[in-house]
Amino acid sequence: MKEKLFIFPFNGNGLEALDCIRGQYEFMGFIDDTPEKKGTHPLGFTVFGREVLEHYPEARLLAVPGSPASYTVRDKIIAGVNTEPSRFITLIHPSASVSPFAKIGYNTLIMAGVVVTANAVIGDHVCVLPNTVVHHDSSVGDYTLVGSNVTIAGNTRIGSYCYIGSGTRIINGIEVGDNTLIGIGSNVIRSVPSGSKMAGNPAKSIQTKT
């Protein structure tokens, strides 16, 4: 018998996660705090409030909140679900290629076409969108969001609480510090300090001066 699964919240990442299940779990529905989202969706699934977790104590959970506006507080949003870590799953789309020598954390979502090669490490509470490549000996820190078609070259460290925009390319052997946002389509060719906001080719700071 397949394990039951809820996805939190009902957002873009959640819908993409639904596509990743592909029979691996019995999908029970989404969980969301927005009253207008609750009820039966035209696509046939149901959106519940958080109380549904109490009615299905055996059900598992995937929490995938986050956007360019909220990437630095994903830990607080996920912690607000108030459930034990053992309840979270790791969900990998069947078309993704994950090396047996790679390490993937819990409550992490790996979408279609992603490639994670040997000795790469993906942390806890991470989302990696379609067709991204994480090369050998690289790491992606906890609570980080990685867009689609991103290339992370070998021996590179991406910190925690980061947002890496789709189409970004990151050169080998550098470090992107915690709490950093990299804009869509950027080319990162040197290490980036924590708390940065970068974009462009090559990527440069886009911090607003006060």
Q: Which residues are catalytic?
A: 136
Peptide bond into 65 cis (omega under 30): no
Sign of the Cα pseudo-torsion (47, 52, 56, 61, in order):
positive
